[in-house]
Structure 1
Amino acid sequence: MAAAPNSTVRRLSGPPGTLGLYAKAALPLIPGASMLPFVAGAGGKLPRTTLTLDGVRTDRDQLASYDRVCGFTLRDELPSTFVHVQAFPLHMALMTDGAFPFGAVGLVHLRNRITQFRPLRADETYDLRVHTMPVQPHAKGKTFTIVSEARVGDELVWQDASTMLRRGKGSKDAERPKPQGGPAPSELPFVALWKLGEDLGRRYGAVSGDRNPIHMHAYSAKLLGFPRAIAHGMWTKARCLAALESTLPDAYTVDVTFKRPILLPGKVAFAAEDGRFAVRNRKDDTKIHLEGTVTAA
Structure 2
Amino acid sequence: MSGSKTDFTVADGFAAAWMLARREWIRFFRQRNRVTAAILQPLLFWVLFGAGLKGSFSGAGELDFMQFFLPGTIALIVLFTAIFATISVIEDRREGFMQSVLVAPVGRWPVLFGKVIGGSAIAWVQAVVFLLLVYLFGTASIGWTLLPMLLLLALMAIAMCSLGMIVAWPMDSTQGFHAIMMLGLMPMWLLAGTFFPIPQIGEGSSTGQWILGGIMRANPLSYSMVELRRLLYPQIDFASLGFAPSPAICWMVTGVMALVTTAIAWWLMRGNRKVDVIV
Q: So what's the TM-score if we normalise by structure 2?
A: 0.31
Q: So what's the TM-score if we normalise by structure 1?
A: 0.30
Task: Using CA pairs under 8 Å that are at least 6 residues apart, name the structure with larger relative contact order, 1 or 2.
Answer: 2
> More strand per residue: 1 or 2?
1
Bigger Rg, structure 1 or 2: 2
> More helix per residue: 1 or 2?
2
